[in-house]
Amino acid sequence: MAKERSVRYFLVVGRIAGVTAEETRERLLETAAAVFARLGYEKASIAEISSEAGLSSGAIYAHYSSKAELFVATLRTHAEREFERLLGGEGVDFATFLTSRGQALDRRSPGERTLLMEAIVAAKRDPEVAQVLISSLVEREARLAELLRSAQATGEIDADLPAPAAVRFALMVALGSMAAGALGLPPTDHEDWVALIARLVDSIRTTPNQEKRRR
C-alpha cells in the first residue's frame, strides 16, 4: 500500500507538463544513465539528475528512496544496450561475432565512461547492483554459448573447443577493454590488433573452413 501511494505521488508531482507518467519515467532513467556514466556513481547527485531531467529532487525521491535505488533501476533499464554493444551476437555466426567485436575493442576512447563500468565498481558494495550484473552476464554468456555450439554443429568451429570457457574468455577480454580504456592506457597499433584477432579466430576454425577461407 505504501509503495502504491508513493507511485501515485510520483505520477502527480513528478510528471512533466504535457508528458505521460511513463514518458517522464523513461526520461528520468535516460538522464540518470547519462549522468551516472559521465560523472560516475559517486559524483553523480540526485540534484544533477533532476535538473537535467527537468524534475524536482522531491519528485525523484517520491519514486526512488535513494540514489542507489535509482541507479539499480537505471541499470536494469539501460545496461542491456551496453551489453549488446559489448557482447551482442544475435543474427551472426560465432566467428563473425568474434571478429567484428574483437577488432573494435582497442578503439575505446581513454575518456569514455560507461554505465556498465560504473556498475562494476558499485557492485562491490551493493549486492543488488551485483545481482543485476551477474544475471545479465549469465544470460548473455548463455546466448553466446548457444551461438558457438551452433557453429560447432555446422562444422565451422572446432567441436573440441569448450563452449563455456571460450565464451568466458571473450567476456573477460571485452570487460578488460573497458578497464584499459578507463585507465587511459596507450593504444596499440590497430592493424596489429586486427591481425591478432584474425589469427585467434582462425585458430578455432575447423581445417575445412580454414582451407575454404584461403581460396
- For residues 50 and 32, what is the distance between their CA atoms, to the nearest angstrom? 8
1-65 is classed in which CATH architecture?
Orthogonal Bundle (1.10)
pLDDT digits (tens, 9 = 90+) for 16-40: 555 577 777 888 898 998 898 888 8
- For residues 74 and 25, what is the distance between their CA atoms, to the nearest angstrom? 10
pLDDT of residue 2: 43
pLDDT of residue 110: 53
Rounded alpha-carbon distances, angstroms, from residue 166 to 54, 110, 144? 45, 27, 10
Cell numbers representing residue 158 in the block = 572446432
pLDDT of residue 112: 57
Cell numbers representing residue 27 in the block = 526520461
Give which of 177, 15, 40 is closest to 108, Cα–Cα. 177
pLDDT of residue 61: 84
pLDDT digits (tens, 9 = 90+) for 120-151: 888 888 888 898 889 888 988 898 899 999 99
CATH superfamily of 79-215: Tetracycline Repressor, domain 2 (1.10.357.10)
Rounded alpha-carbon distances, angstroms, from residue 161 to 27, 136, 139, 174, 183? 44, 24, 20, 19, 32
Rounded alpha-carbon distances, angstroms, from residue 9 to 16, 22, 59? 13, 14, 8
Segments making up each domain of the chain, as ranges: 1-65, 79-215
Q: How long is the chain?
A: 215
User: What is the full DSSP assignment across the chain?
Assistant: -HHHHHHHHHHHHSPPTTS-HHHHHHHHHHHHHHHHHHH-TTT--HHHHHHHHT--HHHHHHH-SSHHHHHHHHHHHHHHHHHHHHH--TTS-HHHHHHHHHHHGGG--TT---HHHHHHHHHTT-HHHHHHHHHHHHHHHHHHHHHHHHHHHTTSB-TTS-HHHHHHHHHHHHHHHHHHHHHTPPPPPHHHHHHHHHHHHHHHB-HHHHHHHH-
- For residues 163 and 159, what is the distance between their CA atoms, to the nearest angstrom? 9
Q: How far apart are the first and last CA of the chain?
A: 69
pLDDT of residue 184: 80
Task: Give the residues of the chain that fall short of pLDDT 70.
Answer: 1-19, 85-92, 108-113, 207-215
